[in-house]
Amino acid sequence: MNQPTHDEVFEAERGRLHGLAYRMLGSAADADDVVQETWLRWHRLGDAGRAAVDRPAAWLTTAASRIALDVLKSARRQREHYVGPWLPEPLLTAADPADTVEWAESLTLGFLVVLERLAPVERAVFLLGDVFGEPYAAIAAVVDRSEEACRQIATRARQRVRDERRRVTGPPGAAEATDLVQRFMAACAFGQVDELRRILLDDVVLVSDGGRDVHAARRPVVGAERVSRFLANVTRRIPPGVTVEVQQVNGEPGLLFRRGGRPSMVMAFEIDGERIAAVRLVLNPAKLQRIGASTA
């Protein structure tokens, strides 16, 4: 049986490397750059160097993690000056029955926002250990800490994620989630504020990310009353010719708005039971350039 070529070894890991880098950075474009740099480093080893690697998948994961960690440290400085709330670059996704609960949840916008509050090393250790199942010996090599230190970092990070991530039961099923989104769309379209209130949890939170160039709420909007009126106002201001598509956004029900064929806004819904617990709006044009082409 023929051994896979070095290029085939890399291609077999490409999706996993991109998934790790995206979760680290919250940007598909930056994740692409990380994967490309990992590929370059893999090829710089040469045939003899690559042949000497006992576990190519582990080598590639370590290389990608180190690159992503360096990018994250730089990105955090830039995000300190970000205008308004920061949300990750959204991705259109498809349900995969092979995904574990941890793998699927770690892709949601709400989960990535919680990860953003962790220090870079905490984020890397948590993702590598809890989501990607890497052994602590490998994680220690990535972050330049001892195995015991990595275990302690993981424990603290795990607790912080649990404390900040609200527990939701999720929708009863895909059909019910779609029905809820359809009711939401109808209530917005017809300005039915009372119906919106029935769809939203009492303590629902809406976060909108417009960046520097697009007007958006500079602070989270909290509560069914305020969020329903905010959404009704947003809907009234949508110009003619905008199309709306029901999509899955980062593993959650969502809507993709297009104007002139180009994405202009993405909504992602966090659902708890039969109502919406959080609405996340991405309007920043820089984060929507790839939405039609990037999937996870």
Say what the pLDDT of residue 100 is. 55
Q: What is the mean pLDDT of the chain?
A: 88
> Average pLDDT for residues 198-208, to the nearest whole number?
94
CB 168 within 8 A of CB 270: yes
Structural domain including 146 reads 117-165
Q: What is the CATH number of the domain that holds 251?
A: 3.10.450.50
pLDDT grade for 296, boundaries at 50, 70 and 90: very low
Q: Are residues 200 and 250 in the same domain?
A: yes
Q: Is the pLDDT of residue 295 over 60?
A: no
Which of 36-40, 224-228, 266-270, 286-290 bottoms out in mean pLDDT, i.e. has the lowest?
286-290
Q: Which of 81, 109, 142 is the last residue of a domain?
A: 81
147-198 pLDDT tens trace: 999 999 999 999 999 888 766 666 567 788 889 999 999 999 888 889 999 9
Say what the pLDDT of residue 239 is. 85
Q: Are residues 141 and 217 in the same domain?
A: no
* Residue 101 domain flag: no
Say what the pLDDT of residue 103 is. 67
Q: What is the CATH number of the domain that holds 138?
A: 1.10.10
Q: Are residues 189 and 277 in the same domain?
A: yes
Write 166-173 long-range contacts (CB < 8 A, 24+).
166/110, 166/272, 166/277, 168/270, 168/271, 168/272, 168/273, 168/277, 169/272, 169/273, 170/271, 170/272, 170/273, 171/253, 171/271, 171/273, 171/274, 172/273, 172/274
Say what the pLDDT of residue 289 is. 87
Q: Are residues 136 and 193 in the same domain?
A: no
Say what the pLDDT of residue 77 is. 66
Q: Is the dihedral of CA 88, 94, 100, 105 positive or negative?
A: positive
Q: Are residues 211 and 245 in the same domain?
A: yes
* Residue 44 domain flag: yes
Q: Are residues 216 and 279 in the same domain?
A: yes
pTM for this prediction: 0.89
CB 176 within 8 A of CB 274: yes
Q: Are residues 125 and 201 in the same domain?
A: no
* Residue 86 domain flag: no
* Residue 99 domain flag: no
Q: Is the pLDDT of residue 270 over 70?
A: yes
Tell me which amino acid residue 55 is.
R
For the chain, strand residue ranges (E) read 200-209, 221-222, 242-249, 252-259, 262-272, 275-282
* Residue 109 domain flag: no
Tell me which amino acid residue 275 is.
R
The secondary structure element, H or E, covering residue 162 is helix 147-164
* Residue 107 domain flag: no
First-last CA distance in the chain: 32
Q: Specify the number of domains making up the chain.
A: 3
Q: Which of 57, 81, 105 is the last residue of a domain?
A: 81
CA dist 270 and 281 (Å) reads 12
- Contact partners, residue 33, CB within 8 Å, separation at least 6: 71
CB 91 within 8 A of CB 22: yes
Q: Are residues 193 and 268 in the same domain?
A: yes
* Percent of the chain with pLDDT strictly greater than 90: 63
Q: Are residues 180 and 159 in the same domain?
A: no
CB 235 within 8 A of CB 244: no
95 compared with 238, residue with greater pLDDT: 238
Q: Are residues 240 and 273 in the same domain?
A: yes
Q: Give the three-state DSSP class for 145.
A: coil
Say what the pLDDT of residue 294 is. 45
> Average pLDDT for residues 203-227, to the nearest whole number?
87
> Average pLDDT for residues 209-216, to the nearest whole number?
78
90-120 pLDDT tens trace: 999 876 655 555 667 889 999 999 999 999 9
Q: What is the CATH number of the domain that holds 23?
A: 1.10.1740.10
* Residue 108 domain flag: no
Q: Which of 29, 55, 81 is the last residue of a domain?
A: 81
Q: Are residues 161 and 204 in the same domain?
A: no
**Count of Cβ atoms closer than 10 Å to residue 215 Cβ:** 10
* Residue 153 domain flag: yes
DSSP-derived pairing of the beta strands 262-272 and 252-259: antiparallel
